[in-house]
Structure 1
Amino acid sequence: MLEDPAAHGVDLDCTMVLHELTGDEWPATRAHAEEFVLPHLREHRVRLVQVARASRSLEITVIDDSRQPQRIVERGPWALWDEYESGGTVPQQGGIRLCSLHAKGNWRMPLSPTTC
């Protein structure tokens, strides 16, 4: 899609990649994204918005919003592990992964529109 967006009917000026932080990503996953994904996003000036839970409530905060992202944010103000500790729970090992879905919060908030 990035190499030939017109062939896919995509306007990269109107494309946004949303990264929802849980705060507990593996270091290797972040390193690989920074090494292999971010250079492509920068080259094609694709907007990367990184969001996280702002607190125990479902409030969301935008950590980074850039067309030239330099790093994958490691953790926001409220991480998945904070949720586990506050509720006295343990991570799920299989199934639907409701814990990580809840940790990402309700991001259906308005983001700054692109020029599209």
Structure 2
Amino acid sequence: MAVKIHKEDVLSHINGPETLAGQVATTNACISLLGALKVCADVQGDAVKVTVYLMGIEIGSGTLSLSHPSITIGGGAAGFKAEVKLTLKTDPIALEICGKVCAPFVGCKSGCTTLHL
């Protein structure tokens, strides 16, 4: 029986300890901020895909990595406006979330939280 040798990683979907996903406690989590925002993170390999929802409506998404650890997502839904800055921290591995939400007639609120991964 001949043994076939692959040069590419045919098991890349398995997160080994050398990957970011192999070092976190959870690979999929969501957190609420300011009552109107929800941020979900999905860790895959060495990347974290983040999705931001405002009043239950997706306003944007992006991917963070160790070489690109920060993004800002903004948008509006149902008369509300929001902007969220997301930063991947490494010690311990966590997602720092700072956001601002503006509602009609009420004004704006801002705050920060951390989602430990």
Q: TM-score, normalised by structure 1?
A: 0.30
Indicate the structure whose relative CO is greater, using CA pairs within 8 Å and at least 6 residues apart: 1
Instruction: Tell me which protein shows more helix as a share of its residues.
Output: 1
| Rg (Cα) greater in structure | 2
